[in-house]
Amino acid sequence: MKHGSLTVVGTGFLVAGQVTPESLASMRAADKLFFLVAEPATRLWLENLLPAAEPLHEVFWEGRPRQEAYDEIVDRLLASVRQGKDVCAAFYGHPGVFVYSSHEAVRRARAEGFTACMLPGVSAEDCLFADLEVDPAAHGCQSFEATDFLIRGRPFDPHSALILWQIGTLGVTTFHLQELWNAGGLAILVEALCRTYPPAHPAIVYEATHYPVCDPLIQRTTITGIPDCQVNTHSTLWVPPIAKARFDVDRARQLGIPV
């Protein structure tokens, strides 16, 4: 293997409260630390941890295509790896959940003969299960990026829970400074969901908190009430099952389950 390596880690949420010991050790051991976080407190903590740490937020500006920004992040990470440095890249949440740059950087680094790996972190989904006190194993759980869910007509089972990510960025491929990128997209989402759920079916618009002293944003509403909620680019939609799934008595007996 060539000299130089890449380790991608997650900072979770709650400033440094959800950073794993494994990820912290990787950040401290790195020759170069890059980071992209969602709020200033984590940024200050990382800069104090390693003063030479380099933020990546400046690759985003009003109207810039997001894919272009993601590609620039990959190029920056690999440039340092090619210089023979042990590079660590820290992204908020889980580094492999809705982070194109992390996956692409690891793939390209390995293709060029460098050691590269990704370490797990605490994702927004992990926070959702804890904050909403729901168990994905109880009825099953389906998870889709909201735009993908709409434009590909994803089939789903309403007898399981439904998670839709990034409902505030529906159909938008460029970066913007405002909190909600497409208010009109919420009406389209409601229309699509009403083909399966009753208009008054319950739903929750959720946002994990970044600070230990603040509560998560949990807005309990209905399918038709989604556009009236406080929605931003970090908002996630949770839709509970419409009813229990059918119980297959014959299959249960085959499995030896008492019925």
Partners of 200 in the β-ladder: none
Binned at pLDDT 50, 70 and 90, residue 49 comes out as confident
- For domain 5-118, the CATH architecture is 3-Layer(aba) Sandwich (3.40)
Residue 133 has pLDDT above 90, yes or no: yes
CATH of domain 124-239: 3.30.950.10
* pLDDT at residue number 10: 96
Amino acid (one-letter) located at 88: C
Q: What is the mean pLDDT of residues 147-161?
A: 96
Give the residue numbers annotated as catalytic, written as ranges.
Answer: 66, 70, 92
Partners of 90 in the β-ladder: 9, 35
Residue spans of the domains in the chain: they are: 5-118, 124-239
Instruction: Count CB-CB contacts under 10 A for residue 89.
Output: 31
Residues 175-199: tens digit of each pLDDT: 999 999 999 999 999 999 999 999 9
* pLDDT at residue number 51: 86
* pLDDT above 70 coverage of the chain, percent: 100
* pLDDT at residue number 1: 60
CA-to-CA distance for 70 and 36, rounded, in angstroms?
A: 11
Q: What is the mean pLDDT of residues 3-11?
A: 96
| CB 175, CB 66: distance < 8 Å | yes
The string over 115-133, giving b where at least 16 C-beta atoms fall within 10 Å of a residue's C-beta and e elsewhere, is ebebbebbbbbbbbeebbe
Q: What is the mean pLDDT of residues 113-139?
A: 96
* pLDDT at residue number 259: 85
Q: What is the mean pLDDT of residues 143-148?
A: 97
CA-to-CA distance for 73 and 25, rounded, in angstroms?
A: 22
Burial class (CB in 10 A: 0-12, 13-18, 19+), 85: middle
Q: Give the three-state DSSP class for 88.
A: strand
Write down the mean pLDDT value for the chain.
95
Residue 2 has pLDDT above 80, yes or no: no
* pLDDT at residue number 212: 86
Q: Give the three-state DSSP class for 181.
A: coil
* pLDDT at residue number 223: 98
